Amino acid sequence: MESLSTHLSALHLGPWQGPAISALRIVLIAVAAWVAAAILNRGIRTLRIRVASHLDDREQVKRAETLGRVCRYIVSVVLSLIASVLILSELGVSIAPILGAAGVVGLAIGFGAQSLVKDYFNGFFLLLENQLTTGDVVAIAGTSGLVEDVTLRYVRLRDYDGNVHFVPNSLITMVTNMSRSYAHAVMDLGVGYREDTDEAVAVMRKVGAELREDAVFGPKILDDLDVAGVDRWDDSAVVLRCRFKVRPLEQWNVKREFLRRAKKAFDAADIEIPFPHMTIYAGVGKDGTAPSFPVRELPPAEATP
């Protein structure tokens, strides 16, 4: 650049010589910044692809993609700032007062925009600790959905209804990730109080074994059906709990299919799946008995609407 400036100074450009050289330097600075950004972004992308090709873990591949995107963003911002400072210097603007004023303004903005600063710090640690990546299904800040984008400022989620939520990183105090390594499809099945729970459990195990052998759902299930047994006594049903260990994000599909098949199996075995009902008692007699509340049968004429 110095040799080019020397050659240009040798030309007789009159009063336009100084501005022409400054303009040329500004153009060269802008082009150099653009070329450097393109080279570095391409290098980051190539490195990310090379690293991802040696990874077998899907979670690590997604993390590499997210980190690569953030690194490209940081490189672009840093190069833009450097180019802007150099261009201002070529225009004759003193950088020292600007930097001093920027420090004061930055301090004031830091106090006034603490949540913004917290967004960037939280976003950095979210990425560093690999708490979530693009493609995960998570619950954060009272909202759950598919992670579509992770930045240092926010996390973009899309819920089951298709709504898009932008969650600032400063609001994320706990991350519930439902798509890491494996998941559990937990099913609660209610049967009537008069039913034999052992018989109901046997039907559940049979349905689980058939589902495990299914050509479509079998590969999604990692282990046999785990039956916990009687979980609780509800008002109208005895609740039996069981679960499948499944691949990430398959817990909902496996759960729906198991419940569909269990409904048919319970109907075939004449096992009652009760709906809420109530028994009314007229009171307790002196002998301690509690007869059912009497129901008056209507004559045919009265029963007809």
Chain segment 145-202, per-residue pLDDT in tens? 999 988 888 899 999 899 999 999 989 989 999 988 899 999 999 999 999 999 999 9
The answer to whether 71 and 120 have CB atoms below 8 angstroms apart is no
Task: Provide the pLDDT for residue 83.
Answer: 81
What pLDDT is attached to residue 7? 56
Number of H helices, E strands in the chain: 8, 8
Structural domains in the chain, sorted by start: 2-93 (no CATH), 130-177 (2.30.30.60), 183-268 (3.30.70.100)
pLDDT in tens, 11-61: 454 555 556 677 777 788 888 888 888 888 888 888 877 777 766 666 667
Residue 111, pLDDT > 60, answer: no
pLDDT tens-digit map of 254-271: 999 999 999 999 999 999
Spatial distance between the Cα atoms of 297 and 305, rounded to a whole number of angstroms: 15
- Please list, residue by residue across 197-215, b when 16 or more beta carbons sit within 10 angstroms of its beta carbon and e when fewer do: eeebbebbeebbeebbeee
Torsion on CA atoms 68, 124, 179, 160, rounded to nearest 10: -90
- Average pLDDT of the chain to the nearest whole number: 81
As a whole number of angstroms, the distance between CA 227 and CA 206 comes to 12
Which string of DSSP letters, residue by residue, matches 267-288? HHTT----------B----TTS
Query: Strand pairing partners for 159?
Result: none
Please say whether the beta carbons of 55 and 61 come within 8 A. yes
Between 19 and 119, the higher pLDDT residue: 119
